[in-house]
């Protein structure tokens, strides 16, 4: 199986099977090709945000083909669910919609941002038995450090985690008819302490997600 495995940051990508594979020279996004468990993995560092990960996915898919799109890395926790590393059962975009006087109203990416609010989550490949807790992740081009907005995302999107990439990868996967999956480990609680907590926990959380993804790929 050919797997495109995407991470936003070097710290998130470098912890996946470190010291293995070969770098593909002169490419964007930077790619490390890894052969493991009968699969070819193209591990790429895309940069932060929805446009970066979607562009990287499209470029790598065009150049190399893919059977599966996957993502690893870190996320903020929106509510007090148990665990610190999660299988992403669904993804939803949180910053496409209408800014009304009373609130931000959410709609699916590409939909008219008018009328009654609604969402269409992107559902991941079913869990293969890794036994991680499942979560719904909300993605948008903003780092969330506001407990009130975190509560809004829980109430309106039923989200558990927040990041800046996953839903865009899931949207691309749906468009091109590919399965997708993701594992994210949490660094912070999407509150006033998130900036410091993110930097303090980035490497440990990245390693946690990377190790879980390696175990999951062994099950494919």
Total domains in the chain come to 1
pLDDT score of 27: 86
Dihedrals phi, psi of 90, to nearest 5 degrees: -145, 155
How far is Cα 190 from Cα 163, in angstroms, rounded to an integer?
10
* Mean pLDDT calculated for residue range 165-184: 99
Element holding 207 (H helix, E strand)? helix 194-217
Query: What CATH number is attached to the domain comprising 111?
Result: 3.40.50.1580
Cβ pair 166, 93 in contact under 8 A: no
Mean pLDDT of all residues belonging to the chain: 98
One DSSP character per residue, 10-74 reads HHHHHTSSTT-SEEETT-SS-EEEEEETTEEEEEEE--SSHHHHHHHHHHHHHHH--SEEEEEEE
pLDDT tens digits for 8-19? 999 999 999 999
Share of the chain above pLDDT 90, in %: 97
pLDDT score of 113: 95
| Domain extent at residue 11 | 2-217
């Amino acid at each position: 199986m050919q797997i495109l495995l995407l991470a936003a940051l070097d710290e998130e990508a470098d912890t996946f099977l470190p010291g293995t594979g070969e770098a593909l020279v002169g490419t964007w996004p930077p790619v490390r090709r890894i052969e493991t468990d009968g699969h070819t993995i193209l591990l790429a560092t895309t940069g932060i945000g929805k446009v970066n990960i979607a562009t990287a996915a499209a470029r790598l898919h065009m150049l190399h083909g893919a059977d599966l799109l996957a993502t690893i890395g870190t996320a903020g926790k929106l509510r007090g669910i148990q665990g610190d590393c999660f299988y992403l059962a669904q993804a939803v975009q949180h910053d496409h919609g209408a800014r009304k006087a009373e609130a931000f109203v959410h709609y699916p990416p590409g939909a008219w941002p008018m009328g009654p609010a609604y969402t269409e989550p992107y559902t991941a490949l079913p869990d293969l038995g890794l036994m991680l807790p499942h979560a719904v992740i909300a993605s948008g081009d903003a780092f969330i450090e506001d407990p009130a907005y975190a509560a809004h995302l829980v109430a309106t999107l039923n989200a558990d985690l927040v990041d800046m990439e996953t839903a865009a990868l899931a949207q691309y996967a749906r468009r091109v008819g590919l399965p997708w999956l993701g594992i994210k480990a949490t660094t912070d609680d999407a509150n006033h302490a998130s900036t410091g907590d993110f930097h303090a926990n980035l490497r440990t959380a990245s390693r946690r997600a990377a190790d879980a993804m390696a175990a999951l790929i062994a099950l494919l």
